[in-house]
Amino acid sequence: MLVEGYVSTDGPYTGLTKDQLLECAYCPLWVRVRCLLLVAYWTSWLVMLAGAITLVVVTPKCLTPEPLQWWQLSPAYQVYPLSYQDGSHPPDGFGDILGIESRLDYIKDLGVGAIWLSPIYKSPMKDFGYDIQDFRDIAPVFGTMDDFHSLSRAMKERGIKLVLDFVPNHSSNLHEWFQKSVKREAPYTDYYVWTDAKGFEPEGTPIPPNNWRSVFGGSAWEWNQERHQFYLHQFLKEQPDLNYRNPWVLQEMKNVLQFWLDQGVDGFRMDAVAHLLEDEELRDEPVKDEDSIDEYSQLDHKYTFNLPKVLDILREFRILLDKNSENGTKIMITEVYMPVEKLMAYYGNKSHPIAHFPFNFELISVSQENISAQSIYSTIMTWMDNLPKGAWPNWVSGNHDNSRMATRFGNELVDAINMIMLLLPGTPVTYNGEEMGMEDTDVSWEQTKDTVGINAGPMKYKLFSRDPERTPMQWNAGMNAGFSTANQTWLPVNPNYKTLNVQSQLNAKWSHIKVYKLLAKARKTEAIMNGELAIRVLEDCVLVYTRVKKGFPGYMVVVNFAVDTVIVDLTKLDHVPNESFIYVFSTTYAHSFTAKKRISNSEVMMPGQGGMVLTFVPEFPEETIPL
């Protein structure tokens, strides 16, 4: 075969030699072909690179949320120690630290991640541990420091955090600091707020320096004959106010915090912090409502409440807690009763944080007025709308100072309120017993006044109670509801304990406790932890909100506050499909629904006074990526 430029030889064809290949490679035709292919390759590569960069730039970002801290993950549980469980041997009718430890498995099983322990400090018990005689010791009625360490270890074994009540505003008048301050012993001379009498009545009675009133009524000033001066007490006269204008006092209280941090405490709930400072000039407070029956409410407390420098003191406490947070956040919660827009200042800001959150009592406040879907909606939105950017919400439905949730909202709505509270963004805080719908107990003044006494040092004090929501925890239908086998409990047990108790609810097919446990479990899902909140009122009486995060199952809380049955169309909310599955329903609906049942969202029949939680696959509009 003849190829141009080459001569065929006899024999089989053996291919081109190396020199022949090189000669062909440099042929102008093949050079042009190779150049065109190379240009085409790099052009397509650059186009794909540009496209990839464009996609990265224009595609909506899916930011990975920061991991939540322990105090954000699970419900917190307030334990009122005197009323939780008597663990004494022999039993004495009072709850104590060993009793709490004996019930930790129950608390863990609820899905609770942290216990807030009301005061257990050494105290004459005039106000249940809020008049503290020694900030570094345990009241004998609650046990010993060894008992506390045992409780702390047992909680850590179960992964439960311990938040201790801290009372920075005042001490007991039996505290060593006060006793030495009365005697003007250095450095305690000005540890409390002392001042001279304004004058004396003709018969020699000293006149208080101003018109300041105690929260519990009467003058906020008490005359001390030994020191021959008045001291300030914004609460009981047995609770003299500490003087935070004295830097030694601030350091003393920081030392107290450090002491308990060293004992293994994970944080503090700080009581009555808005009262920490008073006007240096001791000016009279303006009259706000002289016709008010409550003496304290008659005045505008501009000189004794929420002074600006209170936040500076709390900031000092927060700095100390942050310094101790190497092995886990040490949390700071503040208790302040004030309008929401003012309360937000207690969060501080990003560069100067104060509280991890101030308690949100709005659900308690609204339940003492007209309860409706609209009022609950407004309560939730007021908090969320005022929340500073990046701040963490919280929800409190009850505590030891307010009537029980079942008494305020009605037993029918217990589960519904827990649904609302536990699945909203933020940390829910549950007062012990609210998980099973405990109710207020009728406690007469005589029963309260003549309750069992406690030996506290050389004197024997009588307890007094302000509240029917502090009666013993109802564990079973046995003697004293399983709280104590003593002949008498410090407050009487509610007579309904025979049917309303933990054991009966755990054994029942459906109960408040079982609803609560499922709600706590749902909090661990991505939609509840990091999802968006959308909330509406339908048909004037049904509160509905969704928690949605793309790529994960959504949750929807639906509560009917009306007595009558209402039919609602849930597809009016964004991302809600035509069908959902029932996740959990209130005990009032036990005969109307079944778990995991598929329902049509466009026509949901909601019986009166109850609620349910639905799960669904959220629908999102198809997104178009700009070219």
Residues belonging to the active site: 271, 335
Q: CA angle, 522 as apex, 516 and 524 as ends, to 5°?
A: 120
The answer to whether 348 touches 315, Cβ cutoff 8 Å, is yes
Token duo for residue 608: 């009166």
> Is residue 606 helix, strand or coil?
strand
Main-chain phi, psi angles of 193, to 5 degrees: -90, 100
Strand segments, DSSP code E, in 198-266 are 199-200, 206-207, 221-224, 229-232
257-268 b/e (C-beta count within 10 Å ≥ 16 → b): beebbeeebbbb
> Is residue 463 helix, strand or coil?
coil
Token duo for residue 366: 């609204």
Helix axes 18-25, 28-58, angle to 10 degrees: 60
Beta bridge partners of 614: 556, 582
Main-chain phi, psi angles of 192, to 5 degrees: -125, 170
Main-chain phi, psi angles of 612, to 5 degrees: -150, 160
DSSP H or E run through 115: strand 114-117
The answer to whether 94 touches 82, Cβ cutoff 8 Å, is yes
Q: CA angle, 294 as apex, 292 and 295 as ends, to 5°?
A: 95
User: Rounded to an integer, what distance in angstroms lies between the CA atom of residue 383 and that of residue 339?
Assistant: 10
The answer to whether 15 touches 6, Cβ cutoff 8 Å, is no
User: Rounded to an integer, what distance in angstroms lies between the CA atom of residue 298 and that of residue 294?
Assistant: 7
Give the side-chain half-sphere CA count within 13 A for 47: 7
> Is residue 205 helix, strand or coil?
coil
Start-to-end CA span in the chain (Å): 56
